[in-house]
Amino acid sequence: MNTKIWDLRQMEQSSEELDALNEMKDIFENGGLIALPTETVYGLGADARNEQAIHKVYEAKGRPSDNPLIVHIHTLDQIDAFSSGITDEIKKLMKAFWPGPISFIVPLKKGYLCRSVSGGLDSIAVRMPSHPIGRRILQFVDLPIAAPSANLSGRPSPTTFEHVYHDLDGRVDGIVNGDQSEVGLESTVLDCTQFPFRIARPGSITQLMIEAILPNCITTQGALDIDKPIAPGMKYKHYAPDTPVKIIDSLEHQPSSNKNWDKTAFILPRSMRKLVPESATFITLCKDENDIRGANHNLYQILHQLDQDNHIEQAYILGFPINDESTAIMNRMMKAADQVIVKGEEL
């Protein structure tokens, strides 16, 4: 398959942009796949009403078909076609955080979206992205677009055009070239099929932020059923590079000079650069130990970088104390590291 490349960054309100958007709309309406930028990560888009198109998404990603997809919209009015369970509480949160990096799981009204987009569930995750290019595309095509991360399943999510091109060139109809994703982590997923709500996947919109809008609306009680995932990233291995990664719980002293660190990368805040062994590779995670937003933005770019550098055979990344702001990045780090944490004092 020849993959078409579009770059809309310099085309706004031009005849070239109109031609590109018309071409994309035609591809979507005919069951094709297009990777497009969002503020979280790049998404692999397909018409959420088209069973064959959604099958192509699972096939292109190598993704298990019981892993539900998130439907992307550009206006609240679109939800009426596939859900009748939007309460006043849910609407209040949608109006507060949309467009933005949060998805809401709502009851699914059958007959409009294809069955496989929900992974066979009676609920559907929906979100309204804020990325200007992604929004222009969604507004123009005016379709519900299912868009999981535009990468091979299990790999680190893509935050740049280059990441998408590496994984999906020749496997999809088109890729939209945009800037690096601003947020850098997948959206928060809030399960609104019961009240109080539950966070099914942490993201940059945190529990404290949500409850500042709607107090006491989230419960942490009751386990989510991993064998029947209601949100992406719950059941299968995600976010992991091929290069083995381990989390360091803390690092106060430089690791032993008696070890060979030549093929090891240390992924740390810039403020901790002096603690990296001279022979090791230093990769900047963020500015300092309090810069969670910077770490969110950089994490997937770094995980991709590890696999591109043939010199690096293992990596250590600094973990953060768990709190409301760090929950999302630690969720991704733990999966990337296969739950392995080591003590910095033992290195």
Q: How confident is the model at residue 122 (pLDDT cuts 50, 70, 90)?
A: very high
Is residue 152 located within the same domain as residue 8?
Answer: yes
Is residue 14 part of an annotated ligand binding site? no
| CA–CA distance, 93 with 106 (Å, rounded to integer) | 13
Tens-place pLDDT, residues 34-87:
999 999 999 999 999 999 999 999 999 986 666 789 999 999 999 999 998 899
| CA–CA distance, 143 with 313 (Å, rounded to integer) | 44
Q: Of 189, 213, 237, which residue constitutes the final position of a domain?
A: 213
Is residue 161 located within the same domain as residue 16?
Answer: yes
Is residue 165 part of an annotated ligand binding site? no
Q: Of 213, 229, 254, which residue constitutes the final position of a domain?
A: 213
Is residue 201 part of an annotated ligand binding site? yes
> Is 90 exceeded by the pLDDT of residue 229?
no
Is residue 149 part of an annotated ligand binding site? yes
| CA–CA distance, 175 with 167 (Å, rounded to integer) | 11
Task: Answer yes or no: is 209 within a domain.
Answer: yes
Q: How confident is the model at residue 227 (pLDDT cuts 50, 70, 90)?
A: very low
| CA–CA distance, 90 with 106 (Å, rounded to integer) | 9
> Is 50 exceeded by the pLDDT of residue 226?
no
Q: What is the DSSP string of 37-91?
A: --SSS-EEEEETT-HHHHHHHHHHHT--TTS--EEE-SSGGGGGGT-S---HHHH
Is residue 67 part of an annotated ligand binding site? yes
Is residue 279 part of an annotated ligand binding site? no
> Is 60 exceeded by the pLDDT of residue 232?
no
Mean pLDDT of the chain: 92
Tens-place pLDDT, residues 159-194:
999 999 999 999 999 999 999 999 999 999 999 999
Domain that holds residue 200: 4-213
Number of domains making up the chain: 2
CA distances from 301 to 55, 158, 163, 325 (A): 28, 8, 8, 20
Which tokens sit at 293?
């937003």
Is residue 269 located within the same domain as residue 134?
Answer: no
Is residue 53 part of an annotated ligand binding site? no
Mean pLDDT of 148-168: 93
Task: Answer yes or no: is 157 within a domain.
Answer: yes
| CA–CA distance, 59 with 25 (Å, rounded to integer) | 21
> Is 70 exceeded by the pLDDT of residue 238?
no
| Nearest residue to 329 (alpha-carbon basis) of 154, 121, 186 | 186
| Integer Rg of the chain from CA | 20
Is residue 63 part of an annotated ligand binding site? yes
Contact 43, 144 (CB under 8 A): no
Task: Answer yes or no: is 232 within a domain.
Answer: no
Cis? peptide before 321, omega within 30° of 0: no
Say what the pTM is: 0.93
Any idea what the CATH number is for the domain that residue 318 is in? Answer: 3.40.50.11030
Is residue 57 located within the same domain as residue 157?
Answer: yes
Is residue 104 located within the same domain as residue 17?
Answer: yes
